[in-house]
Amino acid sequence: MLSTTQDNFSKYEIVETLGIVKGNTVRARHVGKDILAGFRNIVGGEIEEYTKLLAESREQSIDRMIAIAEDMGA
């Protein structure tokens, strides 16, 4: 299965739309890491713990969307 965030594939024709797929996730970090992130927020700059958490959550959501699309017959 090919996947994209665009509305078309060059060199491919979309022949059927199966529906909408969604992939959501809610995650929490360890309380100690949240406290550390809070201190970093006071000082300013990137909160690396949350950046990593966001990237992991995005990947998990994409994996879920692909699995749902496959279940729908894509």
For range 3-9, the mean pLDDT: 78
Give the pLDDT confidence score for residue 66 in this predicted structure: 93
- Express each pLDDT in 20-63 by its tens digit: 888 888 887 777 777 777 777 777 777 788 888 899 999 999 99
* Class of residue 74 by CB neighbours under 10 A (exposed 0-12, middle 13-18, buried 19+): middle
Confidence of residue 6 (pLDDT cuts 50, 70, 90): confident
Pull the structure tokens for residue 18.
């199966």
DSSP 12-72: -------------------HHHHHHHHHHHHH-S--HHHHHHHHHHHHHHHHHHHHHHHHT
Give the pLDDT confidence score for residue 26 in this predicted structure: 84
Q: Determine the structural domain holding residue 17 and report its residue range.
A: 1-74
* Total domain count, the chain: 1
Confidence of residue 69 (pLDDT cuts 50, 70, 90): very high
